[in-house]
Amino acid sequence: MYRKQVRRRRAVLALLIVGSFALLTITYRQGNDGMQRGVSTVFSPVVSVADRALKPARDMVNWFDETFDAKGRNERLHSELEVARRQAVGAKAALAENEQLRNLLGLDHSGAIPGGYTPVTGRVITRSPTEWFSDVTIDVGSGDGVEVDNPVVNGDGLVGRVAAVTGGTARVTLIVDHSSAVTAKLVPSGTQGLMKPSVGDPEDLILDFLDSEKLVGKGQSVVTSGWRAIGYESGYPPNLPIGEVVEAPLLEQEAQQQVHIKPYADLRNLDLVQVLTGGSRG
């Protein structure tokens, strides 16, 4: 009896397996439209009703999944936002740097930098914390050919001069530092004077010792004159742009022989600068 049962069971199993393979063989790539269509026709109303009836339950389960997913997505978006923000900041910085470099290149090609000088581009890495002295440190030094007293410019104009140098860095004293003095001239009039800073205000330089016979007007440009004043180690090459006259009161010109100049270079926000190495020392 048991053996009969086993035999029957095996026979059914074999039949099912063979049936499965037969179905696979017959319907694979050919299909069995008749049978499937028939079954679908019979079951499609049931399936349709079940589908509609179960929709709220499905929505509820999916709501849980979506909630979990939304939570994860929120965290992911936060991290993506952080990355994007970092990239945006990086891109902005790169754009600003690009602009600065273009300006420097423009300055190179404009003829403002006199012949014989080799510009060495450096980046400001430190800055003095007080307005009492205006020094910055740049990441190029004697190893790059930088020497003391080399003029330093950026894309806008004169920045300062190298005050001290090490192998890989250099300290640049800005033109707004109290120790700085630059022999300068107005263009196109050619009136010459000595430019000194007003400590504490990096936007205000004073061009002193002007010829009181020649009146200076607002908006005139100021460039380095290239001559060395007695007692001042200005030593800048001629025609480096410095700034423009922003204030030129007649009384002040006549009594004190001075006008106020705003430097072209934004000396509070220096990043890339060029050290003009070599050249002849005025």
User: Which residues contribute to the site for another protein (CB under 8 A)?
Assistant: 9, 12-13, 16-17, 19-29, 31-32, 35-36, 39-40, 43, 46-47, 50-51, 54, 57-58, 61-62, 64-65, 68-69
Residue that is written with structure tokens 């950026």 in the block: 154
Task: Quickly count: other Cβ atoms within 10 Å of residue 29's Cβ.
Answer: 5
Distance CA 191, CA 248 (A): 14
Contacts of 266 (CB under 8 A, 6+ apart): 156
Minimum gap (Å) between residue 27 Cβ and another protein: 4
Tell me whether residue 28 or residue 188 sits nearer to another protein (CB atom): 28
Tokens read off for 40? 């679908």
Cα distance between the two ends of the chain: 122
Dihedral sign computed on CA atoms, order 40, 44, 47, 52: positive
Minimum gap (Å) between residue 77 Cβ and another protein: 17
Measured torsion, CA atoms of residues 239, 244, 250, 251, in degrees rounded to the nearest 10: -90
Minimum gap (Å) between residue 84 Cβ and another protein: 25
Minimum gap (Å) between residue 3 Cβ and another protein: 15
- Give the residue from 277, 222, 216 showing the smallest Cα distance to 247: 216
Tell me whether residue 62 or residue 212 sits nearer to another protein (CB atom): 62
Tell me whether residue 51 or residue 97 sits nearer to another protein (CB atom): 51
The upper half-sphere exposure of residue 68, i.e. CA atoms within 13 Å in the direction of its Cβ, equals 5
Tell me whether residue 29 or residue 109 sits nearer to another protein (CB atom): 29
Tell me whether residue 63 or residue 132 sits nearer to another protein (CB atom): 63
Minimum gap (Å) between residue 36 Cβ and another protein: 5
